[in-house]
Amino acid sequence: MNEKLNTEIQKLTEIISKDVNDYTQKFNRMFALSQQRDVTSLEYKKLEMQITEAILNAKVTDNDGKEKPRYSNQQQRDIAISKGMDTNNLTKEIKDKQKELDYEINDLKKDLDILKFKQRGIRMMVDLISNKEVF
């Protein structure tokens, strides 16, 4: 009877250990991916903004030989908005994405803590049973 119980406890311990390892790997992968996505997204947005700035700063020479902006102020605003240069919107979009990733990461941390707590409980039961203090 005691051997059966020890075998079952060992199986449970192995299952919990595997779960903890799986969640740890998932958490690490999720964290790495979230950082990679943020960096990639920001690099893309920066490049997009540089291209738009180059378009907005384009100059032409008029008949008198003077340089003037290629686009009027209204055209510049229209281009900026169409190219996503609305910095308030960009900042909000990035912050929203970061919040979303933070929520996912926090959920994974909670899952990991729960599994670690379960594993600790099983280890305590194994210790108690192996010391025969339970019976």
Give the pLDDT confidence of 12-66 residue by residue, as tens digits: 788 888 888 888 887 887 777 777 777 777 777 777 777 777 777 788 887 888 8
* pLDDT tens track for 74-128: 777 777 777 665 556 666 777 777 778 778 778 877 888 888 888 888 778 777 7
| CA 104-109-110 angle, 5° bins | 100
* Single pTM value for the model: 0.44
Q: Please return the burial class of 45, using the count of CB atoms within 10 Å of its CB with bins 0-12, 13-18 and 19+.
A: middle
What CA–CA distance (Å, rounded) separates 60 from 77?
A: 18
Above 50 in pLDDT, residue 135?
A: no
